[in-house]
Amino acid sequence: MEVEMTLFSLVTRASFLVQIVMTILLSASVLSWVIISLKFKILKTAKDEAMRFEDQFWSGINLSDLYQQVKRKREEHRGVARIFEVGFAEYIRTHKNKMNTEMMLASVQRSMKVAVAREEDYLDSHLSLLATIGSISPYIGLFGTVWGIMRSFIALGAVEHASLAMVAPGIAEALIATAMGLFAAIPAVIGYNRYAEKVDRLSSTYENFAEEFATILQRQSNVAEES
């Protein structure tokens, strides 16, 4: 008897458990591509905003004027602009309370450290899910393959005259699960590695800016005290 060996027929004839495995892997693949697309947009926007704000910051603009600009458009800013806003707001508060330079600097650094951590959490969001999809998808696919091949050999043992043609469809449908596992895992792993590197670079940018800004505020406070 000739058996139709199309991809669709192999999937529809697979056992219920293997079909569940395929559904899970297909869902994981779709989810990973959604995350990859969203993270691409988020990280690109974060990089562009960081470059644009740093250009404005180092252009010589008055820090009080820049703070007012950022404060007016608070909902539109993230990253470096948010760190600047938090740091300068704390600087204003400490000056009103007439803290000395050392206490002011420590307070501003703590505030910006919290702001940096929040921005890093925002950039890191859902990356762990990509890593999870990339690491477990091949094993889920392998489970479906093992189950499908096991069913094929059990069925083979139940007949007196066995042939390769009898088990080939079952083995083929089982191997589809492995292929789907790799199809889900490979983009997720590539996306995670690429975006993790970009997040690390942006985190370094945030931390460097916070340190440089704290140094500028310390200088300004020293000058004010000497005056």
Does some domain include residue 132?
Answer: yes
* Residue that wins the pLDDT comparison between 149 and 82: 82
Predicted confidence band of residue 19 (pLDDT cuts 50, 70, 90): confident
Residue 211 domain boundaries: 16-226
Q: Looking at residue 220, what is its pLDDT?
A: 79
H helix runs in the chain, sequence order: 7-13, 16-57, 63-72, 80-96, 101-124, 127-157, 164-226
Domain membership flag for residue 161? yes
Residue 2 lies in a domain: no
DSSP 124-138: HTTHHHHHHHHHHHH
In a domain, 82, yes or no: yes
Flag whether 59 is in a domain.
yes
Backbone angles phi, psi at 159, to 5 degrees: -110, 155
% of residues, the chain, pLDDT over 70? 85
**Residue 209 CB partners (closer than 8 Å, separation 6+):** 50, 54, 80, 83, 84
Q: Look at residue 100 in the predicted model and tell me its pLDDT.
A: 78
The better pLDDT of the pair 221, 27 is held by: 27
Please report whether residue 8 resides in a domain. no
Higher-pLDDT residue of 72 and 207 is 207
- The owner of tokens 């590197």 is 197
For 42, 90, 134, 174, the CA distances from 26, given in Å and listed in that order, are 24, 49, 13, 15
Answer whether residue 5 is part of any domain.
Answer: no
pTM of full prediction above 0.85: no
Query: Does residue 7 lie in a domain region?
Result: no
- Give 3's pLDDT tier (boundaries 50, 70, 90): very low
Are the C-beta atoms of 119 and 83 separated by less than 8 Å?
Answer: yes
Q: Which of 22-31, 63-72, 74-83, 195-204 has the lowest mean pLDDT?
A: 74-83
Q: Give the count of domains, the chain.
A: 1
